[in-house]
Amino acid sequence: MSEELVTTSGTPMAVAITGSGGSGAVTAGMILLEAVGEAGWFGLMTRSAGPQIRGGESAAMLRFGPEPVECLGDRFDLLVGLDWRNAGRFADEIPLDAASLVLTDSGAGPVPEALLRCGPQVYELPLRAAAEAVPQGRLNMVAIGTLGTRVGLPLAALEGGLRRTLGGKGAKVVEPALACLRQGFDLGWAPFAMAAVSAPGAPERWVLSGNDAAGLGALRGGVRFVAAYPITPATEILEWLAPRLEQLGGSLLQAEDEVASVNMIIGAAFGGVPALTATSGPGLSLMMEGIGLAVASETPIVVVDVMRGGPSTGIPTKPEQSDLNIAVYGLHGDAPHLVLAPLSVGDCAFTTQWAVGLAEHLQTAAIVLSDQSLGQSRAVTAPAPEPTAHLTRLRQTSPGERYQRYALTEYGVSPMTEPGIPGGMYTAEGLEHTERGTPSSAAADHRVQLEKRRIKLDDFDYGDAWAEIRGEGETCVLTWGSTAGAVFEAAERARAAGTPLRVIALRLLAPLRRRALMRALEGARRLLVVEQNQSGQLFHLLNAHRVLPPTARRFARPGPLPLRPGEILEHILGTD
């Protein structure tokens, strides 16, 4: 009998499950996350795998508790090994220490050295024997049961999570699984007291992945047409959207490539229907010319880039925040457009919806930079809010005699007609054009149209959502995208330890809200820019806009490993 896990009530608990060759580590993780949902808690789950298509080694990593969880934290409290074949590959992603526990089956063989090097305690249980006692029994279900007691999840929540995850497979699968679950539960230690919050006391929560959330944001924003080409790790956005678009009377078209995808959504948007595509870095590179056409022809589109390790084919299954440069600078010519980045799994919904509204209203292209760690992580999280401003397309439904599609207006946005509106005929143009839309190489036309496309974005009032700002203090950390979660947690720890910290997590990266940012930075003496890429892309972008003082530092590290709160904190409190 090992020691009780000593954790302060309310602190989230981090658990990892590894296994190989069809042992079901990921399924176990999904069930656990759903159980967290049933118990009224919050949680986050991410996955990792070997390169094999099937049968490879895989890991599910979770963190959960009674309060919202924004990142995976620095370490894992508990590692459950369904078996130990090649599990050493996950050592970097599952940091353990002397206070961690490794749970293993009595007959599973030695725990890989890489996982033991930081001195966790190893505890053995007869998991396989318990599984074999149940006809069609599986070890991973026993493990969940055991795990559940260790982290204080009630049996009812575990059973609920199992039914939700495996229900679709029928009683032949569910019944033995439940039996194993109970066996495992009975094997467990005395439950550690982390109080389950049961409904109706539980706050309203969603269970979804970042990719699901992006899809939801698109639908909320009015998207009813998607054209896309499958690519890891964005494909789930398309899978989630395909049936649901149809349910709402829209459609998804699987295109022949990414170039076709971006041009198809331009056609749909030209036809009056908000349209979106989703891809990753390589696809975004292919789409650059098309995105430029959307900007020049002032046709609204949204491109979601679920970033992965780059450059080129890179590391498709791992996150990285290294597409900021191409998102901001990738278009040839002076082509102002929108770049946004969600800050969490749930924020993928808010940010994508906002992007759709902005693109439609400002008649431009919006790139949403999600990443693999958001896209393919699943969370139990508070429902995402919706943007307060209801942004829609400025339509011209009764055009006058000489309708001019690209007329110069005070705010730069000229009302759009669409096919079917009598008298509103125009030819949308990628060539530079006059107010009417006729191709022009004249200096004056280029100047005024460039200015039109610039001011409509620069002078727009984006409200408060351009960044999430927390805390106060002379020390300020700037970050963006998925790193925000770990930065917020680091800041919390700093504050709890007596060091006030200001965090600015940018959601709108282009056009950069320089004035608002300067205001938010007032009084900050020490600045640190934190991001997950090698070259410090946000750091350079901010410098280009002359936002940072010469003393500003950066903590920039490429993927595949996430930036963790502990190491961020070290950098924050580090050398001046």
Partner 1 sequence: METATPTPAVKAKDYKSDITPVWCPGCGHFAVLSALTKALAYLGLPKEQVAVVSGIGCSSRLPAYLDSYGFHGLHGRALAVATGLKAVRPELTVLVAGGDGDGFSIGGNHFLHACRRNMDLTYIVMDNEVYGMTKGQASPTTAPDWSSSKLTPHGPGVRRFRPAAIALAAGASFIARGFSGDPSGLTRLIVQAIEHRGFSFLQVLSPCQTFRPEQKDWKRQVHSIDAGPATNDVEAAARIHADDGMALGLIYVEALPVWQPTAQPSASLAEIEQELRR
**What is the Cβ-side half-sphere exposure of residue 50, based on CA atoms within 13 angstroms?**
18
Would you count residue 423 as binding partner 1 (CB under 8 A)?
Answer: yes
- Residue 408 or 431 with smaller CB distance to partner 1: 431
**Environment class of 170 (CB within 10 Å of its CB; exposed 0-12, middle 13-18, buried 19+):** exposed
* Options 21, 50, 267, 415; binder of partner 1; rule CB under 8 A: 267
Smallest gap from residue 64 Cβ to partner 1 (A): 13
Would you count residue 231 as binding partner 1 (CB under 8 A)?
Answer: no
* Options 13, 266, 306, 569; binder of partner 1; rule CB under 8 A: 266
Q: Which two three-digit tokens encode residue 391?
A: 């942004």
Would you count residue 21 as binding partner 1 (CB under 8 A)?
Answer: no
Helix 258-270 to helix 281-297 angle (10° resolution) is: 30
Q: Does residue 108 sit in helix, strand or coil? A: coil
CB-CB neighbours of 547 under 10 Å: 18
Site for partner 1 in 193-212 (CB under 8 A): 202, 204-208, 212
Would you count residue 57 as binding partner 1 (CB under 8 A)?
Answer: no
Q: What length does the chain have? A: 576
Q: Which stretch binds partner 1 (CB under 8 A): 11-19, 126-134, 287-295, 363-371?
A: 287-295
Smallest gap from residue 252 Cβ to partner 1 (A): 8
Q: Which stretch binds partner 1 (CB under 8 A): 166-174, 365-373, 427-435, 505-513?
A: 427-435
**Environment class of 386 (CB within 10 Å of its CB; exposed 0-12, middle 13-18, buried 19+):** middle
* Options 426, 462, 480, 555; binder of partner 1; rule CB under 8 A: 426
Smallest gap from residue 229 Cβ to partner 1 (A): 11
Q: Are 70 and 42 in contact (CB under 8 A)?
A: no
Would you count residue 380 as binding partner 1 (CB under 8 A)?
Answer: yes
- Residue 227 or 552 with smaller CB distance to partner 1: 227
Q: Which two three-digit tokens encode residue 76?
A: 């894992």
Smallest gap from residue 430 Cβ to partner 1 (A): 6
Would you count residue 224 as binding partner 1 (CB under 8 A)?
Answer: yes
Would you count residue 245 as binding partner 1 (CB under 8 A)?
Answer: yes
Lay out the sheet containing 508-510: strands in order across: 251-254, 225-228, 275-279, 301-307, 365-371, 338-340, 508-510
Would you count residue 268 as binding partner 1 (CB under 8 A)?
Answer: yes
Q: Are 269 and 300 in contact (CB under 8 A)?
A: yes
Would you count residue 383 as binding partner 1 (CB under 8 A)?
Answer: yes
Q: What is the dihedral of CA 218, 220, 226, 229, to 10 degrees?
A: 30
Measured distance CA(265)–CA(256) in Å, rounded: 13
Residues 25-44: x where in contact with partner 1 by CB under 8 A, - otherwise, as a string: ------------xx------
DSSP state of 169: G
Per CB under 8 A, residues contacting partner 1 are 37-38, 202, 204-208, 212, 216, 219-220, 224-225, 227, 244-251, 253, 255-257, 259-261, 263-273, 275, 289-290, 293, 297, 380, 383, 418-431, 437-439
